[in-house]
Amino acid sequence: MKINDATIGRSVKGFSDFAPEIANMRKSLFRAASDFPIPLRNSVVDNYNNRIQRANGKPLLGEYAPWILADVLNIKSNSAVHDIVPSWMNLYAYTLFVDDFLDRGSKTETVPILLASGLLLQRGLSGFFKKFPANESVRIRVDDCFVETAGAVMEELARHKQKLSHFTTCNVDRIGRKVGFLKLCATGLLAADGRPDEDVKDLLIPIEYLATGMQLLDDITDWEEDWRAENYSFLLTKTFSILREMGVEKAQNLQSLTKTEVFVAIIITGSLEKCLARALGYLQRIKALNVYRRPSRATQMLDAIITENTALKKEVESIRKLFLVHLKEVETNYGKNWLDALVKHAEVKRQVNHLKKKLQIFATNS
């Protein structure tokens, strides 16, 4: 999953307060598409509703962006968020639909998505520029947001072509750069707040950290979807690289692995712990920056996510140690085929079911 699909998990119960606003945002999106040609209008409604279904009850992070950013930027105008929301919703939907187009490839059924996304982009930008003052620095910043986002998307496409790629620290850092549209939203908020000339570069460092951390957490809940689509995230790249180093024969053909084998491998290679540790590292950097000077829903969200995933990491560490004990039991008899035997071990099965349920809870908003 991409940054712009990123979702907020169970921990953000306070965000249910925004339910009426989110419902109105979605209505504004569908209203914006109401005068599109019927096939394109249907494409907007169907594809966005499909996104909501795929989120499985999780709130879409992008829908909350205006409020989160208003906290980060210390927006004082009560009307600034309200002014920016309709345009932001069009732009956010545009990013989702472009992702869908890229994921599905150049198939005939994707053409309406591409055409509809272009119209939403036009509506979103028109709405933004109606709110912006006639300020050249703002327009330059908008252009920079597009160039940055395009560069990040091209890098992701190149990585997909390489399939099982090697993620360096720099690669992971660059995940957060695919938030150019969040910077666009921030630019709009500052303009609406009467601060059009304020440089958002330093202010948005925590947003890049948040985007990177949340993407890494999303990779955990979406591991199966990514594996089946051969979209090798940091988590899967780490897992399969270590499996190959361990001499597991089936790791040479990743689609020959079963779902349970992949999940056990994610745990026993330590990749799940590493992914959680990296995600927590980015989120804790936000706190270290001390950008939140007052209690807010944003600080509550951050604290809850860090607390829950720190506890999850400790539990995963314990389960991995248990798996390593059982690995020694089966490795002598099964050699390089130890993974086949390990997934059949009764205690391993029990722990796998337990952890899968745990991750499902993390992926579902109560």
Task: Give the tens place of pLDDT for each residue, 62-81.
Answer: 888 888 888 878 888 878 88
Least confident of 23-32, 39-48, 182-191, 311-320: 182-191
Distance CA(266)–CA(20), nearest Å, equals 39
**253 phi and psi, to 5 degrees?**
-130, 90
pLDDT of residue 320: 95
Distance CA(95)–CA(120), nearest Å, equals 10
Distance CA(349)–CA(33), nearest Å, equals 48
Q: Which is more confident, 305 or 321?
A: 321
Q: Measured in whole angstroms, how far is the alpha carbon of residue 326 from the centre of its chain?
A: 34
Distance CA(366)–CA(361), nearest Å, equals 9
Q: Give the pair of three-digit tokens for residue 101.
A: 């187009």
For residue 146, is pLDDT > 50?
yes
Domains and CATH numbers, the chain: 3-362 (1.10.600.10)
0.85 exceeded by pTM: no
